[in-house]
Amino acid sequence: MQCSICTATNALIDKHGKERIPRGWKRFQGQCYCDKCWKKNYHQRSLVLAITKPLDISWEELKPLLESAWNQTTQLSNSIITKLALLEPIRTSEMTKMPKAPSPYLYPWAREQFPDLDLQSANSLIQTVQRTYNRHRLEVFWRRSRSLPQYRYPVPAPFPSTSTKLEWLSDSDKVPIVTVRLGGKRIRLQLTAKHQKNFKNAIEQIINGEAKLCEGSIYRKVSHGSHRSSVVTRAPGGGQRAQSQVFIKLTAWFPIPSSSGPVKRRHLHIQTGDEFFLMASLSGTQKWRLHAEHVRRWIATYTQRLGRLSDDQGYERLQTARQRLPINEYRAKLAAKHHRRIATFLKQTCAEVLTYAQRNGCKKILWEREKSGFFHSFPWYEFESLIEQRSQDLGISFERSSQDVLPAEV
């Protein structure tokens, strides 16, 4: 087997004597890509769409199916973690290095214990949980610095691309419709029709086959004052009713657009610091800074409020779970509001940075985060991932750099 772009070859043979695609290689639109060529031509992106209504059944019929799927995915995820942990050897003084991770074949056991869960969803969940488990094995069983991963209800219910179909409601009405397998039957769900041009272009690429759909999942998220149909839940012990909106997350590989117009030669170098939020320089010149003092005030106020709520639930005030509910519910609303604020700030700042880079014809964004003490706490990984994803949509490469010297223009 040979890559359609470069000269890379592969000679892996499975147990049946047929050629097998190695990990990282892809087959798409009749061509074969090695891992390097695939990442040069395609980038991964996730689309999150809210479910407006089911088309084949009513909301009253859909809600029990969702709750049953979330219950089973949560139980299966924790059961897989426990089963893998029981297979781990006990560390002794004679061990000089950590043994290999256990890799049992859990699919028959999962089908026996959870017969109502869809076959492909169970297989996808097993692989996801095993990857999470292997990522934390060193800290859990060797360094003893953390506990086993735990999953709380509701764990998103996954569904593979083979059983998923995305289409428009009609040729004239561009409303996305997704068909998924849930509770042993196929259900069509109408999704929100966002008006952003890039969002609809991404859906159009999946429908036309230009993008490779990987996997999807159904999950819920607490909504405050949403006008759309939602699932009403209540905390155990007599808590307040909370409305949760149901979302679908679709992950796909999208083609990286080729650059058009004049040749892009500039680099946008972005740094974080202790005295400012961001400092950007365009090929070593035209430096500008972003301080975002209002966000710093948000974070400080939020941290102080959390500390005061913790003081109100000190050891001297022994309360029952029912007496702690009002403070816990207020803390949850406070956290949700803060996270929405930060999420909006991340999207706005990302759009401003990329608009500046696109207007100045930048071909690469060099990201450097050696100092980040301006904010007490900040979702840096989420911010970097957002800029990386959006820059790839625009055909601008993203590179994490620790060098202080900006490379010269080529």
CATH code: domain of residue 308: 3.30.420.40
Q: How far is it, in rounded angstroms, from Cα 402 to Cα 196? A: 35
261 found inside a domain: no
* Domain membership flag for residue 171: yes
Q: pLDDT at position 405, please?
A: 38
Q: What is the pLDDT of residue 259?
A: 56
Q: What 3-state class would DSSP assign to 257?
A: coil
User: Looking at the chain, how many residues does it have?
Assistant: 410
Q: What is the mean pLDDT of residues 244-262?
A: 79
Residue 206 to residue 202: CA distance in whole angstroms: 7
**pLDDT at 21 (0 to 100):** 76
Q: What percent of the chain has pLDDT over 70?
A: 86
Check: CB of residue 40 under 8 Å from CB of residue 52: no
Residues 250 and 271 in one domain: no
DSSP letter assigned to residue 138? I
12 CB neighbour count, 10 Å cutoff: 12
- The listed range with the strongest mean pLDDT (25-39, 61-75, 214-228) is 61-75
The least confident of 56-70, 82-96, 220-234 is 220-234
Structural domain includes residue 14 = yes
Mean pLDDT, range 81-89, rounded to an integer: 92
Run of H or E residues at 268: strand 266-271
Same domain flag for 209 and 231: yes
Please compute the mean of the pLDDT values over residues 142-165 and round it to a whole number.
Answer: 88
Q: What is the reported pLDDT for 402?
A: 54
Candidates 190, 214, 46, 55; CA nearest to 124 is 214
Which pLDDT value is given to residue 82? 94
Domain final residue, candidates 218, 235, 255: 255
Confidence (pLDDT) at 315: 63
State both tokens at 254. Answer: 């999208």
Mean pLDDT of 77-92: 91
Whether residues 50 and 198 share a domain: the answer is yes
Is residue 136 situated within a structural domain? no
Reading the block at residue 386, the tokens are 């957002």
**Are 276 and 207 in the same domain?**
no
pLDDT band with cut points at 50, 70 and 90 for residue 408: very low
Q: pLDDT grade, residue 406 (50/70/90)?
A: very low
Residues 221 and 174 in one domain: yes
Q: Is residue 49 part of a domain?
A: yes
Q: Work out the pLDDT band at 195, boundaries 50, 70, 90.
A: low
Split at pLDDT 50, 70, 90, the class of 183 is confident
pLDDT at 294: 92
How much is the pLDDT for 170?
A: 85
Q: Is residue 109 in some structural domain?
A: no
Q: Are residues 245 and 196 in the same domain?
A: yes
- Rounded mean pLDDT, 118-126: 86
Is residue 162 left, alpha or beta, with left meaning phi > 0 and alpha meaning psi from -120 to 50?
alpha
Residue pair 13/20 in contact (Cβ under 8 Å)? The answer is yes
Tell whether 66 is covered by a domain.
no
Q: Checking phi first, is residue 293 left (phi over 0); if not, alpha (psi -120 to 50) or beta? A: alpha
Q: Determine the 3-state secondary structure of 351 from DSSP.
A: helix
Specify whether 279 is located in the same domain as 380: yes
Same domain for 342 and 243, yes or no, is: no
Number of folded domains in the chain? 3
**pLDDT value at position 239?**
63
| pLDDT (average), residues 220-241 | 66
- Domain check: are 273 and 392 in the same one? yes
Can you give the pLDDT at residue 87?
92
Q: Are residues 199 and 53 in the same domain?
A: yes
| Of 116 and 237, the one with more pLDDT | 116
Asked, for residue 188, whether it belongs to a domain, the answer is yes
Rg (CA), the chain: 24
17 conformational bin, left if phi > 0, alpha if psi -120 to 50, beta if neither? left
In whole angstroms, how far apart are CA 77 and each of 70, 110, 122, 135? 11, 10, 10, 15
Print the domain residue range for 353. 266-313+332-400
Residues 288 and 228 in one domain: no
pLDDT number for residue 185: 83
The model's confidence at residue 179, banded by pLDDT at 50, 70 and 90, is very high
The answer to whether 274 and 263 are in contact (CB under 8 A) is no
Tokens of 298: 């948000």
C-alpha closest to that of 363 among 395, 389, 393, 407: 395
Q: What is the mean pLDDT of the chain?
A: 83
Its sign, for the CA torsion 141, 147, 153, 154, is: negative
Contact 151, 117 (CB under 8 A): no
Identity at 31, one-letter amino acid code: Q
Residues 49 and 193 occupy one common structural domain = yes
- pLDDT, position 317: 65
Give the pLDDT band (50/70/90) at residue 341: very high
List the structure tokens of 240: 């307040």
